[in-house]
């Protein structure tokens, strides 16, 4: 018995219908954002421009796709149904009667389901790795810009040393499978993952050191949660089994943080060198505030605009990097549904079957486009402020 196929309009309507949780969530979130935009600060100001609206909508689309992936995707992303190998878009799986909306790949997996589940991997790794890179860059960039002198010279030299290394070669060295058998990624992870704990401990200490009731609570929560997450990420020793990371994902985390944090460091250092000359910083120094209080509570909040813009762009760069690593067969496992791996698998048979390559390519392109639009809108708002 041959495979039956849906018509073009049926495919379009089927795709639209599968995303119904995303449409519902977008209506609720964007509707509430428009209604209360005057009370939402910088986020609310994004809705004053079409660029900002488009960027927010695209980013939220993929965020909700990742959240509701299990509901949207009709098949498991790694399940194989032999008869659906290289099936064209709209092919109906005979046993269940459920269509492969975007067709099947060379291993008879549903391209649509893999694209949907691929968003989970991208939206977990890219923002999280970027957040750690920003933590490292901010924690080192603040004292370098504020104190100057020997501290600045040493930290700037280390940052320039990393930036001088070819990026592709750097990632190739850090993400190759053989490196996972060495202590290098775990050692770097142990170092980098300490920075969020150091940052938040210092943040709360400088803020509440004269208020012991709040200080003990915030420091206690920071240390307990911080070292719980630290043990799960670095040693895979979370007793609850909630926080864990696979070795290949750990490699990607370490590579992104190692390569991105020097760029963040230079941005923060330059901002601090400019802001520390302002009158409100001099006023805080006159009040007798400690240097770290001034850095974290006077300077850093006034540098948030450029850092937020850089974070959006950096998440986009990391997304492209994940796709590049996946295309070269590095980083994630070969069966992973991430968009880069999907593009790599499809490219080997591109002349015969183009349909498996298009969905992950457009998904990757649209997500990065949304982040770039969001960054442009944020940059416009920061220039107005």
**Is the per-residue pLDDT at 350 higher than 90?**
no
Query: What is the Cα–Cα distance from 102 to 335, expressed in whole angstroms?
Result: 18
**DSSP-derived secondary structure for 168-232:** HHHHHHHHSGGGGGSSHHHHHHHHHTHHHHHHHHHHHHHHHTT-HHHHHHHHHHHHHHHHHHHHH
Question: pLDDT digit string (tens) for 28-58?
Answer: 999 999 998 888 888 888 888 899 999 999 9
Predicted confidence band of residue 384 (pLDDT cuts 50, 70, 90): low
User: How many angstroms separate the first and last alpha carbons of the chain?
Assistant: 66
Look at residue 75 in the predicted model and tell me its pLDDT. Answer: 92
Look at residue 67 in the predicted model and tell me its pLDDT. Answer: 95
Question: pLDDT digit string (tens) for 146-162?
Answer: 998 999 999 999 999 98
Lowest-pLDDT range, 22-36, 183-197, 356-370? 183-197
- Per-residue pLDDT averaged across 232-249, rounded? 73
How many CB atoms neighbour CB 207 within 10 A? Answer: 15
Question: pLDDT digit string (tens) for 87-122?
Answer: 889 888 888 888 999 988 888 899 999 999 999 988
**Is the per-residue pLDDT at 270 higher than 90?**
yes
Q: What are the boundaries of each domain within the chain? A: 8-119+350-384, 120-319
Question: Which has more confidence, 301 or 333?
Answer: 301
Query: What is the Cα–Cα distance from 204 to 195, expressed in whole angstroms?
Result: 14
**Is the per-residue pLDDT at 343 higher than 80?**
yes
Lowest-pLDDT range, 3-12, 254-263, 323-332? 323-332
Query: Is pTM beyond 0.85 here?
Result: yes
Look at residue 97 in the predicted model and tell me its pLDDT. Answer: 86
Look at residue 80 in the predicted model and tell me its pLDDT. Answer: 87
Q: Report, at the CATH architecture level, how domain 120-319 is classified.
A: Orthogonal Bundle (1.10)
Predicted confidence band of residue 178 (pLDDT cuts 50, 70, 90): low
φ/ψ of 237, rounded to 5, equals -120, 30
CA-to-CA dists, residue 140 to 6, 133, 144, 207, 268, angstroms: 57, 11, 6, 19, 9
């Amino acid at each position: 018995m041959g495979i039956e196929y849906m018509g073009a309009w049926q495919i379009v309507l089927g795709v639209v219908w599968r995303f119904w949780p995303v449409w519902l969530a977008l209506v609720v979130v964007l509707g509430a954002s428009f209604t209360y935009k005057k009370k939402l600060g910088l986020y609310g100001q994004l809705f004053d421009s079409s660029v900002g609206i488009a960027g927010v909508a695209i980013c939220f689309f993929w965020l909700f796709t990742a959240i509701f992936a299990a509901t949207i995707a009709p098949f498991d992303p790694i399940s194989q149904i032999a008869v659906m190998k290289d099936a064209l878009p709209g092919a109906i799986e005979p046993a269940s009667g459920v269509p492969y909306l975007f067709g099947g790949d060379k291993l008879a997996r549903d391209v649509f389901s893999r694209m949907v589940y691929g968003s989970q991997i991208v939206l977990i790794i890219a923002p999280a790795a970027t957040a750690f890179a920003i933590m490292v860059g901010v924690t080192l960039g603040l004292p370098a810009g504020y104190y100057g002198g020997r501290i600045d010279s040493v930290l700037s030299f280390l940052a320039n040393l990393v930036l001088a290394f070819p990026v592709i070669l750097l990632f190739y060295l850090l993400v190759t499978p053989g490196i996972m058998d060495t202590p290098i990624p775990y050692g770097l992870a142990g170092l980098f993952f300490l920075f969020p704990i150091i940052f938040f401990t210092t943040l709360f200490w400088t803020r509440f050191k004269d208020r012991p009731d709040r200080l003990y609570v915030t420091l206690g929560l920071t240390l307990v949660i911080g070292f719980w997450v630290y043990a799960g990420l670095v040693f895979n020793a979370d007793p609850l089994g909630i926080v864990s990371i696979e070795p290949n994902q750990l490699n990607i985390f370490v590579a992104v943080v190692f390569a991105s944090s020097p760029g963040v460091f230079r941005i923060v250092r330059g901002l601090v060198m400019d802001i520390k000359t302002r009158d409100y910083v001099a006023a805080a120094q006159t009040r007798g505030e400690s240097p770290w209080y001034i850095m974290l509570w006077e300077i850093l909040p006034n540098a948030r605009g450029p850092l937020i813009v850089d974070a959006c762009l950096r998440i986009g760069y990391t997304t492209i990097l994940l796709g590049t690593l996946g295309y070269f067969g590095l980083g994630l496992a070969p069966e992973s549904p991430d968009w880069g791996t999907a593009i790599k698998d499809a490219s080997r048979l591109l002349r015969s079957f183009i349909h498996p390559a298009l969905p992950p390519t457009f998904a990757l392109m649209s997500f990065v486009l949304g982040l770039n639009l969001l960054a442009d809108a944020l940059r416009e708002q920061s220039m107005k402020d």
